[in-house]
Amino acid sequence: MPALSRPVIALLLLAIAGAALFPLTAETYYLKLMTKIMVLGLFAMSLDFLVGFAGLVSMGHAAFFGVAGYGLAWFANKAGIGALEVSLPAALAITALVALAIGWLSIRTTGVYFIMITLALAQMLFYFFKDQRYWGGTDGMNVFKKPKLAFGDWVLLDLSNRYVLYYTCLALLVLAFLLLLTLLRSPFGRVVVGIKENEGRMRALGYDVARYKLAAFVIAGTLAGLAGYLEVVRSAFINPSHLSWHESGTVLVMVLLGGMGTLWGPVVGALALVMLEDSISSLWDHWLLLMGGFVIAVVLFLPDGIAGLIRSLGRRAPKSEAADD
Amino acid sequence: MDTSYLLIQTLNGLQYGFLLFLVASGLTLIFGIMGIINLAHGSFFMIGAYLCYWLAEKTGSLWLAILLGVPISVLVGLVVERFGIVFLYKRDHLYQVLLTYGLILIFNELRAILWGNDVQSVKIPAFLAASIPLTETQAYPIYRLFISFVCLLLAAGLYVVIQRTKLGMTIRAGAANREMVQALGLDINRLFAIVFALGAALAAFAGMVNAPVSSVYPGMGEEILIVSFVVVVIGGLGSIKGAFLGAMMIGMADTFGSVLLPTGSGTVVYAVMALVLLWRPQGLFGRAI
Amino acid sequence: MTEIVLETRALSRHFGALMAVDDVSIGFEKGEVHAVIGPNGAGKTTLINLLSGELLPSSGSIHFKGQDITRLPANAISHLGIGRSYQKTNIFPRFTVFENCWLGAQSRLPSSFRFFRPASRYDAVRARTERALELCGLSQRAHATAAAMSYGEQRQLEIGMMLATEPELLLLDEPLAGMGAEEAHKVVELIQRLAKDHTIILIEHDMDAVFAVAQRLTVMVNGRVLESGTVEKVRTSKAVQEAYLGEDEAEGEAA
């Protein structure tokens, strides 16, 4: 259970306030970069719910990110529908169904099997979009029509405005965080966390473990879908690489780098990784070499991620209130 | 579909299956004995292919390239095991996935630095370059038969090693019960190093012999890795027999899938996997989970 | 007025060539403490695993209050009112004692697919948790982390979690295993208290404890029932004296 200690809550509020004020000073480039960070942060947070709380290490989480993205692309490009109140719920519903199907198949297995099966089934969807001209094949699609939430002439949200998009992403990120916190404190959340800790005992205590795992899988997948939808709004582009296993690997790195089992840590992980990429990718073509070394270093030397680092610093400080969870 | 066409496709399916087996058997052995899930296993396949391309250019001979390439890949495998994998033995699968994912990034970039990002081809040796005519328009390349033959020979060799030798006995004991190996007073570190290097060598060799027909390109490692996962999942983790059967199934499914369902060929092998999972979640020869 | 509440009919389970449980037919009577004893490897724990649904039998059947429960999964059996504790401590080590018992108590909600109200506001679950803590004697330790407690306390928690599910039939697998004399005494008292309104099936090596609480005994050897009946009947049984009781000291040490 994510026990948010007071210093952490204070830091989070500070970060949200900072993010809310950020557009006042930032250049367009950094505004867009920050939007990207929040979208990927939401994506990573959804995976943390699965890996850090339910104990399900998925290597195919990008499938849901991409499916929702293609969902939006279909509404915008194929159906010509720009109404957010149509495309968003529909894209999320489709993503939830896909997550239900993939989850239903993979939840029967555990451990390494689960990792390999989620990877393989995500790859199946990757080929589904890549092999078909209808979806634009390897090139993918440009999605220029941005969703709009409007009642008659009154436009409530126009996501083609970069400020509106920025604040929408920020609001959704905070809402998703609060939603997951609420879930984790509910009876459902207690079961999910219990399953991670000791699955066999949960079964003996009377819980139909598979159903709870599946529910957690669908919730995480649907939130990843929300991130994927926003990603396509943001970048105006979708191609199969959004579902690729590199994407799944990258988001897993964000989770670990930020600190699993904290929900907010992975957002920090997304921030760190995107900033790192932004600063070194333009300097050197082969920056992924450094990234590989970086990932290995994190695994070896920072297994609890940045959040763990913050916690241990708090513990070392003599008069700190930082509570351990 | 006439018979000679069917024959060609069947042979192709078998050849691909044998190749998959070489990669998947290493993957399944490394998991079964060392408890390690190695995402970078596909990288050895890619390294093998690029070594083959590079050494064949330098030496002008595919055979010499393979002869030099195999020891190099064993060396690479040993280095990876001693300086990377060794930290993972007691760690959660999550960390294994991430560390070996980091290795993939490194291998891919090293490949880009050393050999670039272009697609390369390797020449088939002259005396294997011919084809066997089946009908007036159809023929089967001898080199593909050669690949099948060599892979089958290796598979048989692997079988003999595992069933008949002391090393094989240790490997079998290790797959069944890791503590037993230690109880028998065998050096577990050495066993792990041997198994990992063996797996790396098998994958790299597969990349080498296949290089002339598949060509050599970035991303080939990941491609074969994921299909090998499918093979291992179907066969059952840790089971060599399962890996062989799974590899044959996937080889055939992939080949005939792309003939019968050209637009959905990529998804066929995964559909086969899903079906097997519905029936037996632990794979064909896996222990119940 | 005896009523058979749980019954096995020709129950068998083999692992490869090993017959862990071999043709076992026992009726467990309502409200009694029925101890199953026997040397290590006699198949006692396998029997419990079959009864609790964690293993499927190779053949034979299990009936609870007239219902065939042979193929029900562990979670369904728990919901019928059969609770179990483990020989090897099986708790949630990183959770507090309270959270451990909470999970047992919460399992009695009709469903845990409740997503929004905080769990802490489910008063009935809280009350059940506190009752279980009280019963197993860990009320004072409610906020200790399970992993940080003494072995004896963890054994108490093991029982407390099961009690939080409010079962009517308890399967206790060596509740005294590895305990010191004083702790063991407390657990024996607990079992005596529980015996007033529960049916209990008890596996135990400590014969003093067994004789202190059990009305009925079943002796198992090599997966088979050697003798079964009232304590008196089993005590005087020749077969048992030859095969087992004479060496109970040694077995007790080995446990």
- Out of B87, B103, B283, whose CB is closest to A300? B87
Would the pLDDT of A320 be above 60?
no
Residue A116 Cα distances to A81, B270, C8, angstroms: 37, 12, 41
The ranges of chain C with pLDDT < 70 are 1, 244-255
Would the pLDDT of A123 be above 80?
yes
Q: Is residue B90 part of a domain?
A: yes
Q: Which of A122, A120, A67, A59 is nearest to A95 (CA)?
A: A67
pLDDT value of residue A325: 40
pLDDT value of residue C247: 53
pLDDT value of residue B260: 86
C84 neighbourhood in chain A, CB within 8 Å: 204
Hey, are the CB atoms on A190 and C112 less than 8 Å from each other?
yes
Does A273 contact B at CB distance below 8 Å?
Answer: no
Residue B213 amino acid letter: V
- Out of C95, C122, C161, whose CB is closest to A205? C161
Distance CA A324, CA A62 (A): 31
The answer on C206 and C176 residing in a single domain is yes
The answer on C76 and C36 residing in a single domain is yes
pLDDT value of residue C196: 92
Q: Is residue A280 part of a domain?
A: no
Q: Is residue B24 part of a domain?
A: no
The answer on B286 and B158 residing in a single domain is no
Q: Pinpoint the alpha helices (H) of chain A.
A: 6-25, 28-48, 62-73, 84-106, 111-131, 162-185, 187-197, 199-204, 209-235, 245-258, 265-280, 287-301, 305-316
Distance CA C242, CA A121 (A): 61
pLDDT value of residue A163: 94
Q: Supply the DSSP string of B118-135, one letter for each residue.
A: S-B--PPPGGG--EEE-S
Band of pLDDT at residue A321, cut at 50, 70 and 90: very low
Hey, are the CB atoms on B106 and A289 less than 8 Å from each other?
yes
The CA radius of gyration of chain B, in Å to the nearest whole number, is: 19
B/e letters for C106-137, b = 16+ CB within 10 Å, e = fewer, are bbbbeebebeeeebeebeebbebbbbbbebbb
Hey, are the CB atoms on B94 and A130 less than 8 Å from each other?
no
Q: Which of A17, A9, A33 is nearest to A321 (CA)?
A: A9
pLDDT value of residue A213: 97
Chains that touch B (3 or more CB pairs under 8 A): A
Hey, are the CB atoms on C103 and A206 less than 8 Å from each other?
no
Host domain of residue A152: 23-243
Decide: C217 and C34 in contact? Cβ < 8 Å: yes
For the stretch C193-218, pLDDT in tens is 999 999 999 999 888 899 999 999 99
Q: Is residue B263 part of a domain?
A: yes
Distance CA C139, CA C131 (A): 9
Host domain of residue C52: 1-81+168-255
Q: Is residue A271 part of a domain?
A: no
Q: Are strands C67-68 and C59-64 parallel, antiparallel or unpaired?
A: antiparallel
pLDDT value of residue B259: 86
Q: What backbone torsions phi and psi does residue C127 show, to the nearest 5 degrees? A: -60, -45
Of C139, C166, C193, the domain-final residue: C166
Would the pLDDT of A311 be above 90?
no
The answer on B224 and B86 residing in a single domain is no
Distance from CA of A190 to the nearest CA of C (A): 7
The answer on B54 and B106 residing in a single domain is yes
- Out of C120, C122, C165, whose CB is closest to A206? C165
Q: Is residue B14 part of a domain?
A: no
Q: What backbone torsions phi and psi does residue B216 show, to the nearest 5 degrees? A: -120, 120
Q: Is residue B20 part of a domain?
A: no
Of C166, C181, C197, the domain-final residue: C166
The answer on C246 and C121 residing in a single domain is no
pLDDT value of residue A251: 97
Distance CA A165, CA A147 (A): 10
Distance from CA of B61 to the nearest CA of A (A): 31
Decide: B72 and B65 in contact? Cβ < 8 Å: no
- Give the containing element (helix H, strand E) for C27: strand C18-29
pLDDT value of residue A324: 42
| B79's tokens | 């280095």
Q: Which of B134, B156, B158 is nearest to B144 (CA)?
A: B134
Interacting residues of B270 by C-beta distance below 8 A, sequence separation 6+: A120, A121, A123, A124, A127, B230
Band of pLDDT at residue A256, cut at 50, 70 and 90: very high
Cβ of C97: how many Cβ atoms within 10 Å?
29
Distance CA A126, CA C45 (A): 48
Q: What backbone torsions phi and psi does residue C17 show, to the nearest 5 degrees? A: -90, -10
Hey, are the CB atoms on A207 and C91 less than 8 Å from each other?
no
Distance from CA of A233 to the nearest CA of C (A): 30
Hey, are the CB atoms on B106 and A286 less than 8 Å from each other?
no
Does B3 contact A at CB distance below 8 Å?
Answer: no
Q: Is residue B85 part of a domain?
A: yes
C103 neighbourhood in chain A, CB within 8 Å: 190-191, 194, 202, 205
A126 neighbourhood in chain B, CB within 8 Å: 266
Distance CA B52, CA B54 (A): 6
Chains C and B touch (3+ CB pairs under 8 A): no
Distance CA A210, CA B289 (A): 14
Chosen from B43, B86, B87, B101 to mutate, greatest number of chain A CBs within 10 A? B101
Decide: C76 and C53 in contact? Cβ < 8 Å: yes
Q: Is residue A131 part of a domain?
A: yes
C116 neighbourhood in chain A, CB within 8 Å: 182-183, 186
Distance from CA of C173 to the nearest CA of A (A): 14
pLDDT value of residue B176: 67
* Surface of A (165-204) touching C: CB under 8 A: 182-183, 185-191, 194, 197-198, 200-204
| Domain count across chain C | 2
Of B191, B217, B243, the domain-final residue: B217
Host domain of residue B50: 29-129+141-217
Band of pLDDT at residue A209, cut at 50, 70 and 90: very high
Q: Is residue B19 part of a domain?
A: no
| C11's tokens | 């129950």
Diameter over CA atoms, chain B: 64
Q: Which of B83, B69, B24 is nearest to B237 (CA)?
A: B24
pLDDT value of residue C255: 38
Please state the length of chain A: 325
Would the pLDDT of A25 be above 60?
yes
Interacting residues of A83 by C-beta distance below 8 A, sequence separation 6+: A147, A148, A149, A150
Hey, are the CB atoms on B267 and A127 less than 8 Å from each other?
yes
A103-107: long-range contacts (C-beta < 8 A, 24 or more apart)?
A: A103/A213, A103/A214, A103/A217, A103/A218, A103/A221, A104/A214, A105/B274, A105/B277, A105/B278, A106/A58, A106/A217, A107/A56, A107/A210, A107/A213, A107/A214, A107/A217
Interacting residues of B83 by C-beta distance below 8 A, sequence separation 6+: none
Distance from CA of B273 to the nearest CA of A (A): 9
Decide: A233 and A3 in contact? Cβ < 8 Å: no
The answer on C180 and C146 residing in a single domain is no
A1 neighbourhood in chain C, CB within 8 Å: 99
The answer on C110 and C14 residing in a single domain is no
Distance CA A100, CA B282 (A): 20
Distance CA C101, CA C157 (A): 8
The answer on C200 and C130 residing in a single domain is no
The answer on B238 and B120 residing in a single domain is no
Decide: A215 and A54 in contact? Cβ < 8 Å: no
Q: Are strands C216-221 and C33-37 parallel, antiparallel or unpaired?
A: parallel
A256 neighbourhood in chain B, CB within 8 Å: 94-95, 98
What residue in C sits closest to A189 (Cα-Cα)? Answer: C115
| Domain count across chain B | 2
What residue in C sits closest to A197 (Cα-Cα)? Answer: C92
Of B170, B197, B217, the domain-final residue: B217
Q: Are strands C169-173 and C82-85 parallel, antiparallel or unpaired?
A: parallel
pLDDT value of residue B288: 54
A197 neighbourhood in chain C, CB within 8 Å: 92-95
Q: Where are the beta strands (DSSP E) in B79-133?
A: 131-133
What ipTM does the predicted assembly reach? 0.91
pLDDT value of residue A272: 95
Does C103 contact A at CB distance below 8 Å?
Answer: yes
Chains A and C touch (3+ CB pairs under 8 A): yes
Q: Is residue A318 part of a domain?
A: no
Distance CA C176, CA C186 (A): 10
Distance CA A72, CA A226 (A): 10
| Domain count across chain A | 1
Q: Are strands C4-15 and C199-203 parallel, antiparallel or unpaired?
A: unpaired
Does A108 contact C at CB distance below 8 Å?
Answer: no
Does A204 contact B at CB distance below 8 Å?
Answer: no
The answer on C175 and C76 residing in a single domain is yes
What is the mean predicted confidence (pLDDT) over A45-57? 96
Q: Is residue A214 part of a domain?
A: yes
For the stretch A58-101, pLDDT in tens is 999 999 999 999 999 999 999 988 899 999 999 999 999 999 99
Distance CA B208, CA B46 (A): 9
Question: C12: domain CATH number?
Answer: 3.40.50.300
Q: Is residue A310 part of a domain?
A: no
CA dihedral C39, C41, C42, C47 (to 10 degrees): 130
Chains that touch C (3 or more CB pairs under 8 A): A
* Cβ neighbourhood burial of A178 (10 Å; 0-12, 13-18, 19+): exposed
- The rounded Cα A233 to chain-centroid distance in angstroms is 15
Q: Is residue A139 part of a domain?
A: yes
Residue C213 Cα distances to B19, B80, B253, angstroms: 65, 60, 64
Would the pLDDT of A215 be above 50?
yes
Distance from CA of C87 to the nearest CA of A (A): 13
Stated pTM of the model: 0.92
Distance CA B134, CA B101 (A): 45
Distance CA A279, CA A260 (A): 25
Chains that touch A (3 or more CB pairs under 8 A): B, C
- Out of B93, B103, B105, whose CB is closest to A57? B93
* Surface of B (224-243) touching A: CB under 8 A: 226, 229-230, 232-233, 237
pLDDT value of residue A122: 95
Would the pLDDT of A1 be above 70?
no
Q: Is residue A302 part of a domain?
A: no
Return the ∠ at Cα B45 (arms to B39 and B46), rounded to 5°: 95
The answer on B51 and B152 residing in a single domain is yes
**Mean pLDDT of successive 10-residue segments in chain B (289 residues)?**
85 94 93 89 96 93 93 95 89 92 95 93 85 84 91 90 84 71 75 92 95 91 93 90 94 90 82 88 74
- Out of B104, B237, B267, whose CB is closest to A113? B237
B/e letters for A8-22, b = 16+ CB within 10 Å, e = fewer, are beeebeeeeeebeee
Mean pLDDT of chain A, nearest integer? 92
Distance CA C25, CA A158 (A): 73
- Out of A188, A194, A206, whose CB is closest to C79? A206
Partner residues linked to C133 by β-bridges: none
